[in-house]
Amino acid sequence: MPANGRDAPQPRGDLFERIPTRLLHWGMDAIYGGIVAALPLYGLWRLVSDRKARSRWRAYVRDIPLRFGRREARRADRPCVWVHGVSVGEVKAAARLVEVIEERIPDVEVIITVTTDTGNRVARKRYPDHRVEFYPPDLSWIVEHTLDALRPDLMVLVESEFWPNFLFSARARRLPVALVNGRMSPRSARRFKKLESLSRPLLETLSSVCVQVDSYAERFTALGLDPDRVHVTGNMKLDNIPLKTDPDRRARYAQLLGSDQDDLATVVAGSTHPGEERAIARMRRRLAAEGKRFRLIVVPRHPARAEGVAAEMRKEGQTVVFRSQLEGAAAPGPDDVVLLDTVGELEVVFALADIVFIGGSLVPHGGQNVMEPASLGKPVVVGPHIHNFRGEVDMLLQAGGIELAADASGVEAAIRRWLDDPTAAAECGSRARDVINASKGATTRTIEILSPLLDDVVAKYAR
């Protein structure tokens, strides 16, 4: 197939180096087919028993034509950089990178792809003038068709997503693939190590790997990746998250959500997962019994779960008001729980907070991104399960800018302490904001590493 930019690296000294790409595709397709054939009963049970699974599958089924359908071919007479992020966090992290790529390459077309439906919605809002699509399922014929239609000159993966069929196709086409803002959790590293005969040639398809912290770099190199390709550039999310929110927007939401009506503190439980909302409701009930009242805003990680979340919180005696029903209605009362069932408003809700709990951390999910509320100077508390964001949490812990609780009781104790001592809460938030501000610049460092690949794209169209 024709060369496409800088030659993509080949796996070194491994069986996969000697296997034709077509055979690799057949093998992976067979594995995927076996998984699909083995899962119907399990999938049916999940649909019946798990409300979260039902909401995800409804969204996935709705988008099947966009995920599996044929892609419109792009113009081949202009350069193209394909940027992929799984969901909302990765889409936001890439914002400044996309701007710099467009500044560096004349007439470039930057295509944005995502995996999740929430990521798709946010990407379309964030990049209204760009082509935004779903990432292709990793079936060889869909991958090949997508690459034929998009014909990218450079592929940029944000944080992760190592799909074998896609990466082996990119290698066969000599399409350079760069990983930026990369992460590698201990659990992922263990899984890769168990499948080293596959994972090593998979990682070797990457031309450049830019990671957030030293520990991630060590895990990539421990899996056999050439250290010369691995660079610690910092966390690009820090370059895109705000240090302040538009004051007019903040004032409008304060009025809409009722937080401008009294002197009560506002506690935001953001990016929560099943089980956590009910735990937060219990905390609120116990603290209220101690005479500690506060406004509570709950933001499920997946808005489609809103009805189920409301039902769980009502079991704990909470009155729930949906954000989507507040336009034109009276503001919620101080004892109502506001449930954010909309997309794209988490930032401004964080701006209204006096205290923030970040979910995915009281259940073994691995946590969610803590940096946005911390950048706004908010005191943040998380539970013990933060392995997906260990680097970010450690950075804030070292600065005294976050509270890491051992369990739900520890989260409750932190909220109680900060309600009793608002000055201590503000100092914690201030330390977090200062360390984030001092850590910015990851996008600039990433662009420096990607410069040879970007220059190759420019040179290709200058001929």
Instruction: Quick: pLDDT tens for 307-358.
Output: 999 999 999 999 999 999 999 889 999 999 999 999 889 999 999 999 999 9
Cα–Cα distance for residue pair 262/456, rounded to 1 Å:
59
Q: Which pLDDT band, with edges at 50, 70 and 90, does 55 fall under? A: low
State the angle between helix axes of 306-314 and 276-289 in degrees (0 to 180), rounded to the nearest 10.
30
Mean of pLDDT values over 234-241: 86
At 11 the pLDDT is 45
3-state secondary structure 444-463: HHHHHHHHHHHHHHHHHHHC
DSSP secondary structure string for all residues of 199-229 = HHHHHHT-SEEEESSHHHHHHHHHTT--GGG
Task: Judge: domain 247-438, CATH 3.90.1150.10.
Answer: no
Where in the chain are the domains?
15-43+73-234+441-462, 247-438
CATH top-level class of 15-43+73-234+441-462:
alpha beta
Q: Full-prediction pTM beyond 0.75? A: no
CB 307 within 8 A of CB 268: no
Instruction: Quick: pLDDT tens for 19-38.
Output: 677 777 877 888 877 777 76
Average pLDDT, the chain: 89
CB 355 within 8 A of CB 296: no
At CA 117, angle to CA 114 and CA 120, rounded to 5? Answer: 45
**Distances from the Cα of 219 to the Cαs of 10, 193, 201, 227, 293, in angstroms?**
20, 10, 15, 11, 45
**Distances from the Cα of 366 to the Cαs of 149, 161, 378, in angstroms?**
36, 17, 21
Instruction: Quick: pLDDT tens for 272-310.
Output: 999 999 999 999 999 999 999 999 999 999 998 999 999
Q: Do domains 15-43+73-234+441-462 and 247-438 have the same CATH topology?
A: yes
At 41 the pLDDT is 67
